Structure 1
Amino acid sequence: MAARHGLRVDAVLVQAVIAGALSFAHLHDLAAAAGQDGWKAWAYPVSVDLLLVAAWRRLRSEGPSRLAWCWFLIALFASLGANVATAGFLDLADPPALLRLGIAGWPALAFLGGTLLAHSAGHHTPTTPTPVPAPESDTDDDQIQAPEPVPAPASTPAEEPPALPPADQAPAAPAVPAALVDHARKVAEAHRARTGAPIDTDTLRARLGVPPHLADAIAAQLA
């Protein structure tokens, strides 16, 4: 498969070289018959082929355009016309005046075409996409319906408060740690030694930093 592909490519290149050489020679012969001798006769086929290639590259790289198609057809007509003219349709020994006029004016025409193709390439400036506005809502903000209130769960019967102990039943005295009782006894003895009177409950509570009911329980155990 690789050998066949290589042969096919070589055949295409050989065909292109042969066709190009024949076209080049016909253009040279036509220019020489029109009075362009020496190096000028060789420059004409180069000018025609370069203009044809430039227009074709413009079409391939930037897509179809009127400018590129116009100069491509002009160069193709010049190349094709030269090949047909040298096939015996014209007397190259005595070419018509119109042919001499065309050959003489071709350099200016080719220069104009090459300049336009080279300096009028379309530079597409990327445009920033315009943001699409969000679709407006059919209802205004003040017309948005508020969410429906969730119904409150059915009220359950209030639990009855815990029964209070009878008024004649006194609450049990809080338990007092033995270490706290011993410390309170030392404080009371120090107070008696300093003042000569037993310590009262308020003073005991202030010295120990305990709540009133606990001070009462300690005082009861010291009595």
Structure 2
Amino acid sequence: MALSPASTAEEIAAHLLTLASEEKRAGMARFGIATDRALGIPNAVLNPIARQLKRDHARSAALWTTDLREARLLAILTDEPSRVTRPQIDAMAAEFDSWEIVDHAAHLICEAKLAHEIIPAYAADQREFIRRTAFSTIATAAMHLKKETDDTFVAWLGLVEAHAGDGRNFVKKAVNWALRQVGKRSLALHPPTLALAEKLAASPDKTARWIGKDAVRELTDPRTLERLNAKKR
């Protein structure tokens, strides 16, 4: 079945079923991707499909309700950011079960201009994947929200420090990612971020210490400093 920009959610789901691969599904599990609702279609195949489809908010909602991993990724990739609302993201987040879905959703949150309200709220949430969403969104914003002020990211560093002791795997990796990306965003942000990383590296808490040491390693790497200085020129 050939897809077109106007294909329906039902047609897309039917097409995805023809691309299922049990071998690739098993491989995804080795990378910590939730596979109980996966068809085993790699992102290298899904991304061209997303580019082929036009953005459609109503269809994205229908794709999300299929519960299929691949359909949900396409729902995120083809939604209309201007029509995405906080209640919609909250409803989706309640069903997050994979770091992969979270990290894709972080892009949509940034595109929908919801980062400011979602990041502090989700950081305070005790659920693992929702808290991860907060820090994945900080990392994504640091890379892609070019017009955001440095003050915004300095404030978000406070959340990094506050939750650096959360030892859950998918949270601590996202906190670390957020810290590193903020530090690499600009020369102005590098010093306060490195200072926090060094503080965490000296922490008696094992998780905070790992986050800090790993961030210090990257933020003091000559290649990182070279790229930051190149941005200034």
TM-score range, shorter chain: under 0.3
TM-score (norm 1): 0.20
Please identify which structure carries the higher helix content: 2
Looking at CA atoms only, which structure, 1 or 2, has the larger radius of gyration?
Answer: 1
TM-score (norm 2): 0.19
